[in-house]
Chain A
Amino acid sequence: MNALIGWIAELGAQTLAQVEGLGRVARFGGHLVAAIPRRPTRFGFFVRALFDAGVLSVALICLSGFTVGMVLGLQLYTTLTRFGAEEGLGAVVGLSLVRELGPVLTGLLVTGRAGSAITAEIGAMKSTEQLDGLRMMAIDPVHFVALPRALALSIAMPLLNGLFIVFAIAGAYGVGVWRQGLDGGVYLSGLEDAVLFGDDVGQSLLKSLIFGLLLGLISTYKGHSCDPDAAGVARATTSTVVTASVCILLADYVITALWGV
């Protein structure tokens, strides 16, 4: 009986801790939003953060996009051939990339490359008392350090998503047309007919914007709240990758279910 009560108490304590954690994330998010209109606007820091999160991810995104496109082209061509529908390759590749694979895979790749780097950087700043140094100079670390990075991730994500989709479509074109012998015009016209700019491309960019906002919040929060030592920074970095990846996948389902995007 005592063991059961202990188990229930432990479960309750863990639930409370999780709720408390969510509250802290929400408060941090509120702090971030409240910091947006505050002056001075640190445009230079934002550009530097955008370069780190966006430009430095370009090679990874292009290479990954092209590879995913090649695999997709190969798999779908083989499958569609069974039904005599290989002319539909461009349409299927385009829709699956624009509506689903592009935003989700870009989100996961940017999480691993830029999100983890932001957490590690802010965590290292915390462990070397740089954030406390800012507070002692009456400078808000959330405004000075977190906000430019969170905004940069939110802006970079849709742009990288677009780049990923373009390279993936090119990869699928390469495999479908040059390797499997599908007519290039058929591939491109199928793609053009199937993918609608407003419904598909616009909503794909909206989806990746939401993923960028989520990753910006999670990566900066984890850096700010980590234990100020090497092990704490390592834990926070891992936690960012895991939490943001799960949140992106969950958000993807919620957005798809609610809006049909």
Chain B
Amino acid sequence: MQKGEIHLLLGGSGTGKSTLLRMIGGLQRPDSGEVRVAGNLLSEKSERELGEIRKQIGMLFQNGALLDSMTVLENVGLPLREHLRKPWSEIATQVARVLKSVGLDGVEGLLPRELSGGMLRRVAFARAIVMEPEILLCDEPFSGLDPVNVSRIEDLLVELNRSLGLTIVVTSHHMASSLRMAHQMILLRRGTCIAGSPETLASSDDPEVTDFLGEDGRSYLARLHELRAGGGA
């Protein structure tokens, strides 16, 4: 995976998309093979060394993984407090700014159980980006979100990638959004994968690729390819 690109992990249920994300984050070790992040071979690192590497990585978990005994402010501000030792007044300002960027306002005092599914996911997203990581791992970032918020998160991911050169790895079944922003796509199969740009995969004759993308996905990619060739969006 190249630095500064948005990578889309595709594959049916049980093909290991989330497991691969966890391996990139150092939460799981591979049975065989190796995972390198920014030149670091993760399998050789101790938990403490992995902690240092993880400071450069933000991760959005599928169910948010917010600490349920802490408020939104404490959840999002926790890494700032732990690693930068900032005072809470400064943290509150920064948290409010990040929450606003994901479309949330005035929820700092709420507990995770008081949030809707979509709000919870956006708070988790805010926590993943609050430390301005170099790599962002997103496990199904669009599931459970309404179209407005899907578009908002998608725009935010693209903006983070363009402005900060953030490397983003996304697993998603939300084909339209995923295809629109992906630079590279990786289709996982049992033990193997097919990787390439969206255009490459759209023109693939491999039946598994065409089945997975479906008619909508392929026609969408074909239209995207035409637009790009014509200098469009």
A interface list, Cβ under 8 A from B: 40, 125, 128-130, 132-140
Once the chains are docked, how many angstroms separate the CA of A128 from the CA of B66?
9
Given contacts A40-B82, A140-B51, contact A135 B65 (CB under 8 A): no
Interface residues on B, range: 20 to 34
Contacts of B57 in A (CB 8 A): 136
**Extra inter-chain contacts (6) besides given A125-B67, A136-B59, A137-B54, CB under 8 Å:** A130-B66, A136-B57, A137-B78, A137-B79, A138-B52, A140-B51
Q: Given A136-B57, A136-B59, A138-B83, is A128 in contact with B65 using a C-beta cutoff of 8 Å? A: yes
B25 touches A (CB below 8 Å): yes
Name the distance in Å between B183's Cβ and chain A's nearest Cβ.
23
CB distance from B100 to the nearest CB of A (A): 21
Chain B residues proximal to chain A, CB less than 8 Å:
22, 25, 27, 47, 50-52, 54-55, 57-59, 61-63, 65-68, 78-79, 82-83, 127, 131
Whole-angstrom distance between the alpha carbons of A136 and B58 in the complex?
7
Q: Which of A129, A132, A134, A136 is packed against the most chain B CB atoms within 10 Å?
A: A136
Question: Is A137 in contact with B82, judged by CB distance below 8 angstroms?
Answer: yes
* Known interface pairs A40-B82, A132-B27; A138-B51 also in contact (CB < 8 Å): yes
**Bound: A170/B55 CA distance, A:** 56
Shortest B212–chain A CB gap in Å is 26
**Contact A133 B66, beta carbon cutoff 8 Å:** yes
- Number of residue pairs across A and B with beta carbons under 8 Å? 52
With a cutoff of 8 Å between Cβ atoms, the chain B residues found around residue A137 in the complex are: 54, 78-79, 82, 127, 131
Which residues on the B side are within 8 Å of A40 (C-beta)? 82
Residue in B50, B67, B82, B131 whose CB lies within 8 Å of A133: B67
Contact A130 B65 (CB under 8 A): yes
Closest to B58 in A: A136
User: Known contacts A129-B61, A133-B61; is A139 also within 8 Å of B67 by CB?
Assistant: no
Query: In the complex, what residue of chain B is closest to A132 when comparing beta carbons?
Result: B27
Q: Please name all residues of chain B whose beta carbon is closer than 8 Å to the beta carbon of A133 when the two chains form the complex.
A: 59, 61, 65-67
Interface pairs A-B: 8 shortest CB-CB: A133-B65, A138-B51, A129-B65, A136-B59, A137-B79, A138-B54, A129-B61, A138-B55
Given A138-B52, A140-B51, A128–B63 Cβ distance below 8 Å?
Answer: yes
Complex Cα gap A37–B7 (Å): 41
| A139 lies within 8 A of B82 (CB) | yes
Of chain B, the residue at the smallest CB distance from A31 is B47
Query: Among the interface residues A40, A130, A132, which one has the most CB atoms of the partner chain B within 10 A?
Result: A130
